[in-house]
């Protein structure tokens, strides 16, 4: 190989000329790659020798830290990039976009396709010559894990429709990168490892599950879905059911935004950020209750009932609670002679007690009886193919419920997790 170092300087210049996809090289991997190209070109200076090797090492280190090939890196960045093309194509058909935007996208994809195809062997040889060392830096090619249409195409400028379809289905930016998010420091941030629970793991409460699935499918279809309150016994699987919906419908554009009770005053701001994107959102509020008629109560009331601003049709609130009446009622709240100065005091009490009625759909989760509990235990045991006699399994499950948290789906899950570990440990020791 007789490498032409000027070629890699040309690659650097082409990357600098990107029109829409500039942010692909903004992170540590991209910046370390650009540093390699820069130091390869600035050669024949003794001070550069070691720096060029260091830059190559840093680039490889960043790829290795994520176990990612250079090709996967480029494609992943393209598929989540938030730019004028990826934004507009989610709202308009490809043929309806302005021609200059189409041509700018084709221009960038041609450059990125060239960068994607750079052979690591060639880069190693360039570094060797630029650093003036007698050896070639280590070449380690990680396997491409993401088999997407871009891996299969030779000319990416011909993939615009497939790229447009991907952006429409999965979104861009943080919404394309994460399926679950949370509100933190006045912004949405991604949850890198959301709970992987599936709907098939959740046993019992079939009518409640069916109603929640139907409401979610109405949301995904673009119709007016209802806000939902899931209330009832602790450990009955209310939160797991909502998380399971996300894992089932993520590929259809569903996203989940976790908001805790203290963040409810920000709810109107969150909804405004979500209303104009094509994805559909569940705002998930776990363990909801209010001590009094406070700001959080008022903010949630606005989102549930609406105000002058139109309701966001792509957003619903799913809240769980152990209380049917979300605002605590005290005996002091009840009308007494001293309240004669408030003519309609009972109306005030009723407004608090009826707050849960503002959810369009209320699903009740009753405590699990013994048959339901054992049914859940058997189901979870069969999912992991637990080797234990049925009579022994039921006996141990009843003991566990008596000694721990009572009969519930959560108790069943904890029991099976412990039993699986216990059996596995015994097998190792025997």
Task: Give 330's pLDDT tier (boundaries 50, 70, 90).
Answer: very low
CA dist., res. 277 & res. 153, Å (int): 29
Task: Give 180's pLDDT tier (boundaries 50, 70, 90).
Answer: very high
Share of the chain above pLDDT 70, in %: 85
The answer for residues whose C-beta is within 8 angstroms of residue 186's C-beta and 6 or more apart is: 266, 269
Mean pLDDT of the 168-176 span: 91
Per-residue exposure over 4-36, b if at least 16 CB sit within 10 Å of its own CB, e if not: eeeebeebbebbeebbbbeebbeeebbebbbbb
Distance of CA 253 to the CA centre of its chain: 11
Q: Indicate whether 109 pLDDT > 50.
A: yes
User: Which residues make beta-bridge pairs with 321?
Assistant: 231
Mean pLDDT of the 160-176 span: 92
Residue carrying structure tokens 């088999």: 147
Q: Indicate whether 33 pLDDT > 80.
A: yes
pLDDT: which is higher, 356 or 267: 267
pLDDT: which is higher, 264 or 316: 316
User: Which residues make beta-bridge pairs with 318?
Assistant: 228, 284
What is the DSSP track for 87-118?
Answer: HHTTTS-GGGS-HHHHHHHHHHHHHHHHHHT-
Least confident of 83-92, 178-187, 291-300: 291-300
> What confidence score (pLDDT) does residue 89 get?
95
> What confidence score (pLDDT) does residue 145 get?
75
- pLDDT for 210-242, tens place per residue? 999 999 999 999 999 999 999 887 878 899 999
Least confident of 70-84, 108-122, 146-160, 306-320: 306-320
Structure tokens at 27: 């992170």
> What confidence score (pLDDT) does residue 62 get?
87
Task: Give 393's pLDDT tier (boundaries 50, 70, 90).
Answer: very high
pLDDT: which is higher, 13 or 248: 248
CA dist., res. 216 & res. 209, Å (int): 11
Task: Give 12's pLDDT tier (boundaries 50, 70, 90).
Answer: confident
> What confidence score (pLDDT) does residue 349 get?
43
Task: Give 152's pLDDT tier (boundaries 50, 70, 90).
Answer: confident
Highest mean pLDDT among 71-75, 133-137, 306-310, 424-428: 71-75
> What confidence score (pLDDT) does residue 335 get?
52
CA dist., res. 331 & res. 312, Å (int): 38
Q: Indicate whether 47 pLDDT > 60.
A: no
> What confidence score (pLDDT) does residue 234 get?
80
Mean pLDDT of the 38-51 span: 63
> What confidence score (pLDDT) does residue 292 get?
56
Least confident of 44-48, 254-258, 405-409: 44-48
Q: Indicate whether 2 pLDDT > 70.
A: no
> What confidence score (pLDDT) does residue 237 get?
84
Mean pLDDT of the 58-76 span: 89
> What confidence score (pLDDT) does residue 1 get?
41
Q: Indicate whether 147 pLDDT > 50.
A: yes
> What confidence score (pLDDT) does residue 404 get?
86
Tell me how far CA of residue 195 lies from CA of 81, 131, 180, 198, 344, in angstroms: 25, 47, 9, 9, 46
CA dist., res. 34 & res. 119, Å (int): 15
Q: In what order do the strands lie in the sheet with 361-365?
A: 187-190, 180-184, 254-258, 280-285, 315-321, 228-232, 361-365
Crossing angle of helices 70-80 and 99-116, rounded to 10°: 160
Residue carrying structure tokens 């608090």: 352
Distance of CA 10 to the CA centre of its chain: 38
CA dist., res. 428 & res. 430, Å (int): 6
Burial class of residue 357, CB neighbours in 10 A (0-12, 13-18, 19+): exposed
CA dist., res. 12 & res. 130, Å (int): 15
**Strands, E assignment, 298-415:** 315-321, 361-365
Distance of CA 103 to the CA centre of its chain: 32
Task: Give 336's pLDDT tier (boundaries 50, 70, 90).
Answer: low
Share of the chain above pLDDT 90, in %: 41
- Looking at every residue in the chain, the average pLDDT score rounds to 84
> What confidence score (pLDDT) does residue 348 get?
45
CA dist., res. 87 & res. 76, Å (int): 17
pTM of the entire structure?
0.80
Task: Give 324's pLDDT tier (boundaries 50, 70, 90).
Answer: low
Strands 228-232 and 315-321: parallel
């Amino acid at each position: 190989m007789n490498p032409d170092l000027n070629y890699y300087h040309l690659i650097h210049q082409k990357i600098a000329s990107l029109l829409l996809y500039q942010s692909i090289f903004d992170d540590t991997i991209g910046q370390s790659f650009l540093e390699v190209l820069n130091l390869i070109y600035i050669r024949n200076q003794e001070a550069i020798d070691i720096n060029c090797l260091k830059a190559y090492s840093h680039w490889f280190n960043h790829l290795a830290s994520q176990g990612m090939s250079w090709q996967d890196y480029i494609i992943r960045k393209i598929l989540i990039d938030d730019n004028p093309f990826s934004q507009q194509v989610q709202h308009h058909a490809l043929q309806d976009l302005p021609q200059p935007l189409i041509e700018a996208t084709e221009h960038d994809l041609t450059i990125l396709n060239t960068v994607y195809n750079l052979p690591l062997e060639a880069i190693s040889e360039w570094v060797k010559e630029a650093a003036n060392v007698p050896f070639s830096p280590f070449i380690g090619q990680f396997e491409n894990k993401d088999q997407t249409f871009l891996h299969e195409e030779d000319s990416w400028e011909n993939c615009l429709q497939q790229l447009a379809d991907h952006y429409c289905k999965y979104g861009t930016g943080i919404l394309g990168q994460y399926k679950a998010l949370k509100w933190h420091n006045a912004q949405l941030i991604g949850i890198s490892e959301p709970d992987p629970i599936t709907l098939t793991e959740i046993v019992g409460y079939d009518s409640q599950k069916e109603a929640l699935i139907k409401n979610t499918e109405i949301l995904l279809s673009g119709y007016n879905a209802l806000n939902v309150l899931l209330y009832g016994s602790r450990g009955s699987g209310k939160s797991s059911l909502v998380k399971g919906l996300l894992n089932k419908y993520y590929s259809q554009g569903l996203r989940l935004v976790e908001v805790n009770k203290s963040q409810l005053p920000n709810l109107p701001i969150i909804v405004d950020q979500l209303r104009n994107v094509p994805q559909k959102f569940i705002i998930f509020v776990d363990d909801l209750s209010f001590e009094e008629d406070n700001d959080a109560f008022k903010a949630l009331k606005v989102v549930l009932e609406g105000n002058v601003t139109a309701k966001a049709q792509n957003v619903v609130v799913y809240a769980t609670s152990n209380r049917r009446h979300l605002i605590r009622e005290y005996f002091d709240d009840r009308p007494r002679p001293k309240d004669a100065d408030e003519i309609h005091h009972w109306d005030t009490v009723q407004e608090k007690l009826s707050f849960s009625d503002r959810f369009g759909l209320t699903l009740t989760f009753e405590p699990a009886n013994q048959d339901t509990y054992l049914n859940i235990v058997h189901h979870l045991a069969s999912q992991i193919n637990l080797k234990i006699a049925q009579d022994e399994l039921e006996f141990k499950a009843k003991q566990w419920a008596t000694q721990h948290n009572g009969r519930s789906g959560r108790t069943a899950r904890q029991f099976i997790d412990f039993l699986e570990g216990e059996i596995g440990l015994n097998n190792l020791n025997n």
